[in-house]
Each structure stands twice: as C-alpha cells, then as structure tokens.
Amino acid sequence: MKGDRHSRVVSWLKVLFPLIALALLSTLFLLSRAIEPQAVIPFADKEVQERLRDQQITGPFYSGTTADGDLISFSAEKLTTPGGETGTNEAEDIKATLDLEGGSKITLHSNSGRFDTGAEAAELAGNVRVSTSTGYEILSERMISNLTTLDLQSPGPVRATSPAGEITAGSMAITNRQNSAGSQLLFTKGVKLIYTPQATKE
C-alpha cells in the first residue's frame, strides 16, 4: 500500500516539476518582454530624442539670388531647429557673401545667428564682422538682416575702418531699398570720423 502511494507521488512529481519549470520560464520570458528599452540603453534613447527634438545639420551651405538680383552664399558650422519650431533655425560660426549686382562684394562673419523664414529675417549676434570690397571693415555685436533683399542693419553701436579713416556710430545700415540709387552704406546716430590722409602716390 505504501509502495503504491510512493509510486503515485513520484509519478505526480515527474509531471508537476516540468510544468513548474515551464511556468517559471514563461514568467521570465514575459518579464523580459515587459522591460522598457530606455531602461536598458538610456543614453542611446536620450540621444535619439534630442536629435528628434533639435534637428541638426553639420556644415550646411546655401547659395541663391535675392529679389534684387544680388548673389548670396551662406555657410555655417552647425544648423539646428530648436524645439522643432517650423521655419526657425539657429546657426553657429556663420559666413555669408553677397555679390551685388552693381559689382561690389560684401562678406559677413558672425559667431551665431537665428533665422526666421516666415518673417524673412535673420538676427546675427556675437562679434559680427562685415567687410566690403570698397574698403570698409565694420564691427558690431548685433545685426539684423532681411533674407530676400539687401537690408542689413546694426541697431547698436558700430566701429569701422574705411579708406577715409576710423568711424564710430550709434547705428549702421547697408541697404538697397526701392527707389534708392543702388546699394548704400549709411552711418547714423552720433557719427564720428577720425580722418586719416592717404599717402600721396608717386
């Protein structure tokens, strides 16, 4: 009698143990499927999220023509779309060149800039430097530019060197507005010129 009972218990355990093992394996499998990917590779997920939020282009280059027929080229170290704002971009280490229809040339450098294509405007900031083929070198901390026509303005103080000497002014504009006789370089608000006579050519 005891032998039969022992045999039945052994037989049940032979069936029960594999079932328990199978249940444990199934539980482990389900738990592994439930683990979130970011808990395993948080750095990779964070990097992906940042790139999705702040779209980034390294070394962008653009060239085209303004509404007035001036040729413009633009390059930067990096271009981003912060916060996914449509039509808004920020750039670092900017260089732009304008070949004006009248024959002169303007080169611009800036540490950074923000571009709003909807408003057709750009705001440049940080050591903005403008050079012209007519001999002007202009420095400002901030300039505002139109993206479709020649209209570059410094709302704050500027320092410049020119063929006539050194210039300081409260503001400056390079513009080619309608009804104007070609491009114009205008210094306004307390303009001071330290005249430097040119050496007489032999």
Same structural domain, 11 and 86:
no
- Residue 152 located in a structural domain: yes
Q: Are residues 29 and 104 in the same domain?
A: no
* Residue 105 identity: K
- If one counts the domains in the chain, the total is 2
For the chain, state the CA radius of gyration. Answer: 34
Counting runs of H as helices and runs of E as strands, what totals does the chain give? 3, 14
Q: Is 124 exposed, middle or buried (0-12, 13-18, 19+ CB in 10 A)?
A: buried
Give the domain extent around 179.
56-195
Higher pLDDT, 132 or 40: 132
Same domain, 104 and 12: no
Asked whether residue 200 is domain-assigned, the answer is: no
Within-domain flag for 201:
no
Q: Establish if 50 belongs to a structural domain.
A: no
The verdict on 64 and 130 lying in the same domain is: yes
What span, in angstroms and rounded, lies between the C-alpha atoms of 183 and 177? 8
Q: What's phi and psi for 195, nearest 5 deg?
A: -75, 135
Identity of the highest mean pLDDT range in 11-25, 54-68, 77-91, 135-149: 135-149
* Residue 149 or 138, more confident: 138
Provide the β-strand partners of residue 122. Answer: 115, 145
Share of residues in the chain with pLDDT > 90 (%): 35
In this structure, the answer to whether residues 89 and 120 fall within a common structural domain is yes
pTM: 0.67
Q: What is the pLDDT of residue 42?
A: 46
Between 19 and 145, residue with greater pLDDT: 145
| pLDDT tens per residue across span 154-173 | 999 999 999 999 999 999 99
Cα(130)–Cα(96) distance, rounded to whole angstroms?
Answer: 10
Considering the domain architecture, whether residues 7 and 99 belong to the same structural domain is answered as no
CB 137 within 8 A of CB 160: yes
Tokens 């912060």 -> residue? 82
The pLDDT of residue 100: 86
Q: Of the ranges 3-12, 31-40, 172-181, which one carries the lowest mean pLDDT score?
A: 31-40
Cα separations (Å) of 167 from 106, 148, 156?
A: 18, 28, 14
Question: Do 81 and 72 contact (CB within 8 A), yes or no?
Answer: no
- Per-residue pLDDT reduced to its tens digit, 23-43: 544 444 444 444 444 444 444
State the Cα–Cα distance between residues 131 and 135, nearest whole angstrom: 7
> Could you tell me if residue 202 is inside a domain?
no
Can you give the CATH number for the domain in which 114 is found? 2.60.450.10
Shared domain for 111 and 21, answered yes or no, is no
Cβ burial, residue 44 (10 Å; 0-12/13-18/19+) = exposed
Select the highest-mean-pLDDT range: 25-29, 69-73, 80-84.
69-73
**Same-domain pairing of 91 and 190:** yes
* Domain identity same for 61 and 133: yes
Amino acid residing at 74: F
